[in-house]
Every structure is written in structure tokens, then in C-alpha cells.
Structure 1
Amino acid sequence: MDCSGCNKCTEVRCSIETKCQQLDRNLMDKWGAISYPIYQTATFAHDGFGQSTGYDYTRMQNPTRQQLESIVAYLENGKDALAFSSGMAAIATVMELFKPGDHFIIDEDLYGGSIRLFNEISKKNGLTYTAISLSTEDITPYITEKTKAVYLETPTNPMMNVTDIRKLSKITKEHGLLLIVDNTFLSPYFQNPLNLGADIVVHSGTKFLGGHHDTIGGFVVVKDEELDERIRFIYKTTGAGLSPFDSWLILRGIRTLAVRLDRAQQNALELAEFLKEQEHVTKVIYPGLPEHPGYEIMKKQARGFGAMLTFEVDSAEFAKKILNNVQLIYFAESLGGTETLITYPITQTHADVPKELLEKNGINDRVLRLSVGIEGIRDLKAELTRVFAI
């Protein structure tokens, strides 16, 4: 790419790698700081009546958070992005768009925290939902006159099911429904759901966007002005905005998003192939494997397959042996950082999901999830070889 003569790195011709690294070149503060400043303040002074800098109170807006929101909106090709104190705060705010009696359709395989929100908070607020396999089922028979939205992850957490966003969006548009896509697993580096017909994109910014397991955040990205105004009103009213310092941490993380995900994805594919050859591994689920049912869809709607993979072993005892003996790999919740993490969904991320739904989705005490990091691949393979041999 020839950037000669370009002083505004928000041109469409810029690659996604350059967007991650150089977007804020034309948004630097007046002092020219390369690292955007942390405006650690609760309130802003005015020169006089009717004279404002555009900022009043950090709950409503803050320069550091606005900088981050501008970057995330641009990476997702949205009109606006809103930065929240967590991914769950972002999803909870989106659900405030609906009123008692409204119905929505969700994928049956979702992050356990989302299912907990829908079961314990949304239902209490008078909302109803139907959970189906959006990767395999037609939503049309489940749409009623009260249905307002469809909510999904693709790939799903933790079973890595892939839904054709473009195909689904045709149906939601025909019926006037909002299509809400959680894009956490792939990040805007690999996938842009708004380009495929989604109306709202949500992220846990804690994960790949932050990338270092050192802060918690969330995002809502939209492309419609009226929808943006509605969500911003809820946002400033409920006060779930991301703090200036945490905004700065995620700004820093986005600068290395491209190189981190390229390396992590390369490692994930090699580990998936490695795990397929292991005696005690009965199943490997990674959308970058040609045998994955969503492989061809991923090739059409995403630029990569991500760094998340799930595998199943032949017994619960063996799964627990792995968890008790990993050293280089951390036994921990979360995902998307530079370190490789192994998670036991049935007792961690999905502990509050009803047993019957776990069984239906294939989440059992033999299933393990890997968030693959950027360590040397030989070291990761050696770690698993050692643990499997104990």
C-alpha cells in the first residue's frame, strides 16, 4: 500500500493490519502524543455559559473512551461503537432495547454468561426467547408476531458451531428483526458481521481486543443512526461506560491485534492437527479444519478461523489429569490473550447452564477448550505431549 501523501489513515484502502496500527494517527491529541492520553477525570470545566469543549461528565463521554470507540467502530465498519465496563454490560444494554412481551431467538450454544443473563434477567424483565441451533435450523417456524431479534455467536462458545450470517440476515430483514452477533471469538480482524447483514455487533473487549488478560471491557457496534441514538441514551442513563484507564489499555491492545491473531491462529491450526493424532483425544473441533461443517462458510464470511479450539478426551478422569498437570498452559477462564489458556466449560464458563442444554450441545465432563496464545508451537506441543503421557 502506498501511503505517500496520505495524512489520514482512515482511508478505505488501508488494510486491516494498518487500521489496527495507524488509525489514531489523525486522532492524536493537540500535543501529538503517539500513545493517546488517559483523561482520568470525572468532569470537565467550561469557559462560560454555552461554551463547551464537547465533554461534560465521563459517564456520558470522555476523550480516551471516545478515541477507543472511534477505532472499534472503524474496525467493524460501523457508524458508532460504545465501550462498556464489560462484555456482559454491553449485552445487557442491548437487551434494554426491548420491552416486556418481546420475544427473541438465540443460538442454543452460547457463552454461559449470556445464557445466565437471558434466563435470570431478561425473563424477569418480561422477555421470552427460543433457543435453537442457528447453524442447522431455519428460524422461520419460530418467528412470531412478538419476535424482535435474533442473537448468536459464530463460531459459538465452546462448540465452535458456525452460522451463515449473510443467509440469516436475509430472513431477519424480511421479518423486520434485529440481527445481533457476538463477534468476540474472531474479533474485527477476522470477521465483520455488519458487512454481512448484522444490525448490532457485540464484543467482550476483555478478550482479543484487549489481548493481555489485564482489563475487562465490552463493545456494542451499530450502523444505524436511530439505533445508535437509542443505545447511547441507555448507555449514558445506566452508567456502564468503560473507564478512561481501561479504555487506554484496550487502545494499546488493538495496536498488536493483527500480529497476535496471526500468530495465535497459526498455532491453533497446528495444535488442532496435533490433537487429532493423540490417543486419548476423541474429537477436535476447530473451524479451520476442512472436515469442520462450517469450514466453507468461514472461508466465505471471515478472513481467518481464529485461535479458539475445543477438544474432547475419552474420560473425565483424563480431562482432570490434564488440568492438574499443565504448567506452560494456564488452567484459567477467559480467552484471547497472549498466553494459552485451557478451560473446563462444564465447571467454569458454562457452570450455570441447565444440564439438559449442556447435554444437547455436547458439553460434558470430557470437553476442554483452548484459547491458543503466541508461545512457540514446539513448546505448546511439548507441554501437551508431557501431560498426555503422565
Structure 2
Amino acid sequence: MKKQFETNAIRTQLKRTENLEHSVPMYLTSSFVFEDAEDMRASFAEEKDRNVYSRYSNPNSSEFIEKVCQMEGAEAGFAFASGMAAVFSTFAALLDSGDHILSARNIFGSTHSLFNNIFPKWNISHTYFKIDELDTVENRIQANTKIIFAESPTNPGVDVVDLEVLGAIAKKHNLIYIVDNCFASPYLQQPLKFGADLVIHSGTKLMDGQGRVLAGMTVGNAVLIDKIYRFSRISGPSLSPFNAWVLSKSLETLAIRVDRHCENALKLAEFLEGHEKVNWVRYPFLQSHPKYDIAKKQMKAGGCVVAFEIKGGIEAGQKFFDSIKMLSLSANLGDSRSIVTHPASTTHSKLTVEERAETGVTDGMVRVSVGLEHIDDIIGDIRQALG
């Protein structure tokens, strides 16, 4: 009988050892031993499906990967030491010199830096498209375009991309379609259902959920994942066994945590929408969101991030952040603790003023990762900080 999301997250475990442990143990070993010379030869020749070296695979990372694959409906996956290790390794494994990336403009600042500062060294180019103008995407496809890439919801503006439309374009032109699903998590959205070939996550965010470890994940088409795996076992960005163990345990509570995140975030968004000192509020499941219908089509709920702009410019923004008492001033998100971030001076500070404007990052924008505290306390801190 097919089990539900929450059940699989809890009951997908490694086979018990002779100790019959209820909770999966940590396998803090760098390498594994072999029965004899032939066993060792066959294992390195990949004639056997077994653990050889923890840079390649480890029981803890294998369990974590299996869980995420089940959640996303993916054939295979590979776990990385951070979200950006997943982004970099995925693209580097699939691209050759002379290839071209077609990407949404609204992407994480470090991904933008990767496209603009690192890949050009290898003669890999990119073109951006606006997510509000998907009808122009096909016109931007070049003869050497290999990958189409997008995030949804976007960081930090919490905009929404119609994943199905991009999926149809990618399929029509035989492009590899990659989606960064970090803001939604597999619980709220499964991009493979909308045509994606690969899905990338920063496990550091909602997957961990408590700000403890760094991790990344790419899942999807088995043929593509095999290329990513072979690149990564050589270049070495694999996830540590300890962090994999932590994350696998974290996934057991993902659904119940994200439900509360979303409940709190919607209430905060509704409060901010009526506040006299706020210019605008952006949250996918707020009916005023311009992509509300698309968000409802492809997401279960709106996620944990709310973006808004304070009236009064930089001075008002600085006063707001200096007045925060309970919420954390940090650049992370998806934590049990609510976090406020100023994207223009932190996560997107490496972008020029013009580049920030293109992605909707204004000087007065505030990104709130809404945590699991009581909503009255979250709203109370933001209310007093707004003055």
C-alpha cells in the first residue's frame, strides 16, 4: 500500500543492524572494508552496489537521499555539503565550454555571482529572462542553450514562476530544466510534476529547520544524476555523514513544521498588508499577490518567507532593524526561530543597484523568515519595530 508523505518521511530508514536499533545510527567512517581482493576489485569497478568511501556514498547520506527522492518523486539524487555546492556541481557536471544557460533573473545572489563571475572563465554564458514575461523565453533560446533554470518562490522577493509553462518550453526545445525548490521544500511543491528534470535544495533551510547544519541536494532524472554523481565523487563536495544523519531525522518533522511556518507566515502577511508604514507585502498565498493563482496551482501552501517594503527608505529601514527585539537578525531562513534580513545589504549586496532593481530588491525591502514562535509574539515584535 502506498504510504503518505509524512509516513514515508518517518518510516524510510536503513535496514537495522544486529543491534535492532529503533533510531538509525551514525556511520562516522571515512572508508569501508572489503572481504577479500576480489570483493575490493569488484567494488571499485562498480560491479557491486556497496559503500566504498564516504566521499562517494555513506549509509546516512543514502538514507537522506532516498527520503528526498520519495518526497520529490525523483529517480535518484546526490547530497552536497551546502546548497551552493549543489548548485555549482549540478551546473558544472552538465555544462561544457561553449554552452549557454537561460535563467530567470530573479535568483539567489550567489547563483547570480556564479553565472556572472565563475562560469565565464570556462566560456559558459547565460541570458536572463523576466519571470513576468515568459512569452519572451523562447526568443532567448540560443543554438548552444543547454539548461533552463528558475527558482520558485524567488529569493528574496517571494515572486512565483509558472513552472508548468517553463516545463513545456524546455521539453519543446530539448533543454535540461532545473528548478531551485528551496523556498517551498518538497512538502509544498514538487517541480518534477511540472516538467522539471532536476530539483535543487539547500538543506540548510527548511529541511534542517533549526539552523544547525549546512547541506544541499539535487534529485531528478537518473541519467543526469549519474553525471552529477561522477563529477562530485571526483571534486569532493559531498555531504558529511553526521549532517546527513541530522537532516534525515529533521525530515521526519518537515510536514508538521512547514504547516506551522505557513500558518504563521500568512497571518503575518495579512497583518503587514494593513499597516500604514508598509508600502507593499509579498506572500504567495496572499490574495493580493500577482501570482496568487499560479501559487495555488503548484504549491500546497505559501511557505515561510514574507517580503515587504517599509515606507521611509534607508533610514526607516535601519530604525526598524535596530528596533527588533525578539526576531533574529541573520541571513538564514527556514529556521524554527523567526529571522529578519535586509537583502540589499546582505544576501544581494554583491549586486549593483541596477541589478537589485531588476530583481525587485529595493533599499527598503525586508525579508522575514517566519518561524515557529507564537504568532502573537512574532507580530508584536514587528509591530513595535515599525513604530
2: CA distance between counterparts of 1:47 and 1:35?
27
1:44 partner amino acid: F
Deviations 1:140-182 (A, max 9, x none): 0001111111111011111112111112111111101011000
Counterpart of 1:367 in structure 2 is 365
Counterpart of 1:250 in structure 2 is 247
Match of 1:331 among 308, 329, 337: 329
What is the aligned-residue RMSD (CA, Å)?
A: 1.4
Counterpart of 2:234 in structure 1 is 237
Deviations 1:76-124 (A, max 9, x none): 1101111100011101111111011111111111110111111111111
Matching of residue 21 in structure 1 with residue 17 in structure 2 = no
CA contact (8 A) 2:106 2:155 kept: yes
* Shift, 1:27, TM fit: 4.1
CA contact (8 A) 1:29 1:36 kept: no
Deviations 1:168-216 (A, max 9, x none): 1111111010110000000000000111110010000000001110100
* Shift, 1:28, TM fit: 4.1
Q: TM-score, normalised by structure 2?
A: 0.94
**Residues 157, 40 of structure 1: alpha-carbon distance in 2 compared, 3 angstrom cutoff:** same
* Shift, 1:64, TM fit: 0.9
The structure in which a higher percent of residues are helix is 2
2: CA distance between counterparts of 1:83 and 1:89?
9
1: CA distance between counterparts of 2:192 and 2:262?
23
Counterpart of 1:106 in structure 2 is 103
Aligned residues: 376
Deviations 1:192-246 (A, max 9, x none): 01111100100000000011101000000012x3212211110111111000111
Runs of 5+ unmatched residues, structure 2: 44-48
* Shift, 1:336, TM fit: 0.5
1:273 partner amino acid: E
CA contact (8 A) 2:104 2:131 kept: yes
CA contact (8 A) 2:167 2:196 kept: yes
Matching of residue 123 in structure 1 with residue 120 in structure 2 = yes
* Shift, 1:249, TM fit: 1.2
Q: TM-score, normalised by structure 1?
A: 0.93
Match of 1:222 among 220, 223, 234: 220
2: CA distance between counterparts of 1:265 and 1:374?
10
Could you tell which deviates more after superposition, 174-183 or 287-296? 287-296
Runs of 5+ unmatched residues, structure 1: 1-10
CA contact (8 A) 2:12 2:63 kept: no
CA contact (8 A) 2:337 2:372 kept: yes
* Shift, 1:304, TM fit: 1.4
Matching of residue 132 in structure 1 with residue 92 in structure 2 = no
**Aligned partner of residue 12 in structure 2, secondary structure:** helix
**Aligned partner of residue 166 in structure 2, secondary structure:** helix
Counterpart of 2:376 in structure 1 is 378
2: CA distance between counterparts of 1:349 and 1:30?
47
Counterpart of 2:262 in structure 1 is 265
Counterpart of 2:281 in structure 1 is 284
State the identity as a percent. 34
Could you tell which deviates more after superposition, 44-53 or 182-191? 44-53
